[in-house]
Structure 1
Amino acid sequence: MKLSGQIKPISYLKAHAAEIVRNLSAQAEPLVITQNGEAKAVIQGIKSYEQTQETIALLKMLALGQRQIEEGKVQPASDVIARLRNRGKSS
């Protein structure tokens, strides 16, 4: 993702807030807001934010799974399926 075209000073945000909010849903990239030449905030549309959150959640699940594999906390799928089937029979 190339953000160089999406960097604006805080004065631009103040002067164009309504326009920025209207355009956020159409643009996929976030808008970086600077103050005194330093990046201070990121603004993004709600759909983009939701996608980001879903991606983060998926990456966390993958990292957890990888850690469990490394720690040996895994079982063959056939064993788990058999255990689940037996649980259903005993109920």
Structure 2
Amino acid sequence: MRYSEQVKPVSYLKAHAAELLRGLADGAPPLVITQNGEARAVLQDVASYQETQETLALLKLLALGTRDIEAGRTVPARDAIARLRKGAGNAAE
């Protein structure tokens, strides 16, 4: 997607808000909103926003995991599973 094709001034947003929101709900790509010729905001539908936030959260978890590996803060899977099984047995008592 080329953002240059999806750039609208804030005045266009004000005049066509309902139409733009309908388009976004129907799958139109996000819009870059400008003010005084400068990009100021991105307008996108809620489902796409949520998907983006979930993707960012997963990427953050991956980055944190990578840091843990690099720092040596890991244990073999066999040990982790054994520890979980031992803990689960205690919870049932």
Q: Which runs of 5+ in 1 are unaligned?
A: none
Q: Quickly say closer, same or farther: Cα 1:88–1:11, change in 2 above 3 A.
A: closer
* TM-score, normalization by structure 1: 0.90
Identity %: 62
Aligned-CA RMSD value: 1.3
Q: Which runs of 5+ in 2 are unaligned?
A: none
Counterpart for residue 88 of structure 2: 88
Q: Quickly say closer, same or farther: Cα 1:48–1:88, change in 2 above 3 A.
A: closer
Report how far residue 89 of structure 1 moved: 3.7
* TM-score, normalization by structure 2: 0.89
Counterpart for residue 22 of structure 1: 22
* Matched residue SS, 2:2: coil
- 19-28 or 60-69, which deviates more: 19-28
Give structure 1 regions of 4+ aligned residues with deviation exceeding 3 angstroms: 88-91
Q: Report the count of equivalent residues.
A: 91
Report how far residue 14 of structure 1 moved: 1.0
Counterpart for residue 7 of structure 1: 7
